[in-house]
Amino acid sequence: MRALLIGGTGTISMAISRLLIEQGWELYLLNRATRVNDFEGTNAKFITCDINNEDKAKELLKDMKFDVVADFIAFVPEQVERDYRLFNGKTKQYICISSASAYQKPLANYIINEGTPLSNPYWQYSRDKIACEEYLMKMYREEGFPVTIVRPSHTYDERSVPVGVHGTKGSWQVIKRILIGKPVLIHGDGTSLWTMTHNSDFAKGFVGLMGNAHAVGEAVQITSDETLTWNQIYQIIADALGVKLNPFYVSSAFLDACSTQDFRGSLIGDKANSVVFDNSKLKRLVPGFTATTRLDQGIRKSVKYVLEHPERQIEDLEFDKWCDKVVEALNNAVEQVNK
């Protein structure tokens, strides 16, 4: 079986690439030759190209056909329209990576399956993913384009520790605050439900959909079945670090109102909502699928990796100062009210 991954070296797609190699797929990666060293000694082949350069991509791919093409870096409708032009008639299955954040916000039912309506007035990212899905399903219905939609939720790997509220440079500054005992911002009161999925588990579900005729024309979510509160998630991180957690609770609306970041989208339109995923459809399509990495196990691996790799410890002093200001402002407010 021959697969082309557009991207193929990110948090989600790296685990898929590794599993495809392990299973003996003929694997091609179309990207700007990032992380080539990670594939030394494998049969993976790189097609060096920026996919946004459609003319160059068309030239490089002109004599090639694939069993599966999966695009991990298509975010807006124009990009999936480009993929349709490039791969219509050249693949037996095209997989678009959408997002579980596209599901209805606010939710009418906290249990989510593929029949949950798609609607997110809070986040442009999610609305763009919805538009991508709509275009591709239109091409499936009208032109027979063999599309499969995959909706991941919060997927992580060993290279960073997943958290809820962080700055633009990743999660390290939050981990550092936990390590040194500073107050750590947790949205809401920490009791909303959330699901995090290790990329190795996501890869098992994804590869099971590849070349699967029953998945064509379908949308499928891939997540763990483990659901935890944000309080539990942050406590797992602190336990892995071997320190005491100092939580500081802030409403998502307040965080959005006083931040230059898009917390309206990433919190109000996503993480602030309680979600429980029903993966029955995935398990019907991929019999035997089970997510086997518990969050505490995955977090320990992530913490160990980040602490052992200084290049992953990216300081974000602006975010750190902002956290301190939020804490100070709310503590001052409490003092004023109690006078």
Please list, in sequence order, all residues whose beta carbon lies within 8 angstroms of the beta carbon of residue 16, skipping any fewer than 6 positions away: 5, 8, 70, 202, 203, 206, 207
- Residues in the chain where the model's pLDDT stays below 70: none
Q: What is the pLDDT of residue 262?
A: 85
With helix as H, strand as E and coil as C, how does the chain read? CEEEEECCCCHHHHHHHHHHHHCCCEEEEEECCCCHHHHCCCCCEEEECCCCCHHHHHHHHCCCCECEEEECCCCCHHHHHHHHHHHCCCECCEEEECCHHHECCCCCCCEECCCCCECCCCCHHHHHHHHHHHHHHHHHHHHCCCEEEEEECEEECCCCCCCCCCECCECHHHHHHHHHCCCEEEECCCCCEECEEEHHHHHHHHHHHCCCHHHCCCEEEECCCCCEEHHHHHHHHHHHHCCCCCEEEECHHHHHHCCCCCHHHHHHHHHCCCCEECCHHHHHHCCCCCCCCCHHHHHHHHHHHHHHCHHHCCCCHHHHHHHHHHHHHHHHHHHHHCC
Q: What is the pLDDT of residue 84?
A: 98
Q: What is the pLDDT of residue 261?
A: 86
Tell if the pTM clears 0.75, that is, is over it: yes
9 and 153 Cβ atoms separated by less than 8 Å:
no
Give a yes or no: residue 163 inside a domain.
Answer: no
Q: What is the pLDDT of residue 37?
A: 80
Tokens of 281: 């459809």
Which range marks the domain in which residue 93 is found?
Answer: 2-156+196-222
On whether both 248 and 306 belong to a single domain, the answer is yes
The strand pair at 45-48 and 111-112 is best described as unpaired
On whether both 110 and 90 belong to a single domain, the answer is yes
On whether both 75 and 208 belong to a single domain, the answer is yes
On whether both 45 and 111 belong to a single domain, the answer is yes
- By percentage, how much of the chain surpasses pLDDT 70? 100
CA dihedral 82, 285, 92, 37 (to 10 degrees): 70
Tokens of 184: 């750590």
Count up the domains in the chain and report the number.
2
Give a yes or no: residue 326 inside a domain.
Answer: yes
Give a yes or no: residue 76 inside a domain.
Answer: yes
Give a yes or no: residue 113 inside a domain.
Answer: yes
On whether both 151 and 188 belong to a single domain, the answer is no
On whether both 209 and 310 belong to a single domain, the answer is no
On whether both 140 and 258 belong to a single domain, the answer is no
Give a yes or no: residue 63 inside a domain.
Answer: yes
On whether both 85 and 186 belong to a single domain, the answer is no
